[in-house]
Homo-oligomer: A and B are copies of this chain.
Amino acid sequence: MRKSVQQIALDAMGGDLGTVELVAGAVEAVRQYEVHMVLCGDENRIHAALQQLGVQESDALQIIHAPQVISMDETPFDAVRKKKDSSIVRAFHLLKEQKVDAVVSAGNSGATMAAAVRYLGRLPTVSRPGIAGIYPTLKDPLVMMDVGANVDCRPQHLLQFGAMAAAFSEVVMLKERPRVGLLSIGEEGGKGNTLVKKTHDLFRQSSLNYVGNVEGRDIFKGDVDVIVCDGFVGNVCLKVSEGLAEAILHMLRDEISQSLKAKIGYALAEGAFKNFKKRVDYAEYGGAPLLGLNGTGIICHGRSNAKAIRNAVRVAKELVANKVNDRIETLLSAVAPSGRDTENTIAPEMI
């Protein structure tokens, strides 16, 4: 029997900052969100992390020993098939057996997706599960999908991404009738590549609140709630944004360090810079949810700190509590009443 308190499994071995940072996020989540965490990984390291944090193992913080580690450079499908005792595989196995309600992982993204697909399977109406990315904007954060799981897509896949991301937006961002835009290179429907032009027509005929094409420069304005693109374009966008934000801050620091006056000025303006950083900090939004699967998983950035893990757990809890998958099924049945196309096998490319 599943307990009434949600159980969230954490891959405690993934991520660049180490097990202590990940476990610290789990501890914060237990304190703030009334969830129980199941920490999957090498039990010695997890014990050591708990000890370092001054926390005891308990019902709220259980350990599942998983001695194998899937490193960042392993081939996702092979690694998942071979390493049954890896922290990622054990976490999804627990979810499959309904011993936990969701999985959060900051490990190898491809392996996380592969394990999720293997152990959870797709929702009945979904052709291609995908990864949703959350972007800060000048207004509310928006959801972009797909950001890396499916690099060669057909129009029907993009339509489904729109419906899945809209369900996420409803359930987590609390948007009613989320505004869905299609990423293209011009606002008019006739602009874009072949895939986008065909997808535009599908969206126009759908029951979603489709607002038409949006351009790259519109992402950060926050005038739409959902942006749809294929996983190649979405992943490039995500990484370009990350790289540019870093480069801009780097250049600013560089310039400021060159004059004493500017340094004093920066010291005075520091609060403003901190608030600004908070606004664009990926950690505020936790991680990228996997959508379209028969279960809930969140992929976190490799560099996730405790705050990011904590927030990812919060999002996972909300997705489960608010039954995002039921909502996905409802929206998908409305946009694609003929059901999913069956000619696809799932062979997602990984981030």
Contact = CB atoms under 8 A, between A and B. Distances in A.
Interface of A: 137-138, 148, 151-152, 183, 185-186, 191-194, 196, 215-221, 229-233, 235-248, 250-252, 255-256, 258-259, 261-273, 275-276, 279-280, 349-351
Contacts of A217: 239-240, 242-243, 246
Given A215-B243, A219-B243, A268-B268, 15 more contacts: A185-B231, A185-B235, A185-B351, A192-B232, A193-B232, A216-B237, A217-B240, A244-B245, A245-B248, A251-B280, A255-B272, A258-B272, A262-B268, A262-B272, A266-B269
A242 B241 CA distance: 10
A233 B240 CA distance: 11
A244 B244 contact: yes
A47 B30 CA distance: 73
A255 B138 CA distance: 12
Nearest to A250: B138
Given A220-B243, A236-B183, A349-B185, A193 B151 contact: yes
B275 A271 contact: no
A113 to B, nearest CB: 13
B273 A255 contact: yes
A101 B349 CA distance: 47
